[in-house]
Structure 1
């Protein structure tokens, strides 16, 4: 989780690849109306976000019920949003990609082909409620290379490289 431009999709892809899980971009669950609204430079409201968050929560439930594993990239900016996603599950962890507005603004200025315009960054930071201790998050700084960020996530989750090799051997 994190604001737009924090590296959610990149880190989710790298982490999932490293541990042998499926990577899912939460943006694909947005209704077309949300994408159109953001593309036009308008921030989403809570009312816009609820159907999107519920769709991701359903994907989490489906994935777990099927015995699958996934890393899902999703902004999840407010605690109330994360409650919808996690909904009491002990097998779901939040990873917070923490970065400064300046670093993220620079990344957004260099990003091409994404529906989220850089002009909405301030609204993202205004909405952001960093996870607190009660949510048991993994918090990592984005001021490192993607590989170093994934190393940090794996270390905090207690996933060693040996565990990683075992995960790949056990995948169908």
Structure 2
């Protein structure tokens, strides 16, 4: 089994890409925001950045969800900012192969996206703290960096090509596992 963690700062397009990948790969998808305890959401709504201590239980819940999918014989997709390598290390503890799709874009584009969306608790005022905390994928980390300067379906094409995944390779991978 393998899992994809679609990562990046808020507004980079994680949910949009994950939904496309869910459809194309036929793997279950979970939104990282579903794993936040109410106190984390309240902090973010108030414009207060989360601490590493706030994030650890959240990351562990996601790791455990990925492990549960692997135990059930399924690959899975989860969105998660995964801003620091230490956060990605927690997610990598899940059973199965954990791969990252790091979405990146010009900060001005991301700020416009955040400012234009409704119904989300993450304010644009927290973007600078996310960008300041971001530790890009290292060469030894299993994943790809994808620029989100094209329509979402093309971002998905880039991600799948970078990961070496397509319908046939996905089917072959599922058979091997």
Shared fold by TM > 0.5?
A: yes
Matched, 1:114 2:131: no
- Number of residues paired by the alignment? 167
Q: Aligned residue for 2:161?
A: 155
Stretches of structure 2 lacking an aligned partner (at least 5 in a row): 1-6
* SS of corresponding position for 2:78: strand
Matched, 1:2 2:4: no
What is the CA–CA distance in structure 2 between the aligned matches of 1:88 and 1:65, rounded to whole Å?
A: 10
- Aligned-pair distance for 1:159? 1.9
Equivalent residue for 2:147, pick from 138, 141, 160: 141
Equivalent residue for 1:21, pick from 22, 27, 37: 27
Equivalent residue for 2:48, pick from 42, 47, 67: 42
Which has the larger share of strand? 2
Q: Aligned residue for 1:124?
A: 130
Matched, 1:68 2:42: no
Once superposed, what is the RMSD of the aligned Cα atoms?
A: 1.7
What is the CA–CA distance in structure 2 between the aligned matches of 1:68 and 1:90, rounded to whole Å?
A: 9
* SS of corresponding position for 1:95: strand
Q: Aligned residue for 1:78?
A: 84
* SS of corresponding position for 2:99: coil
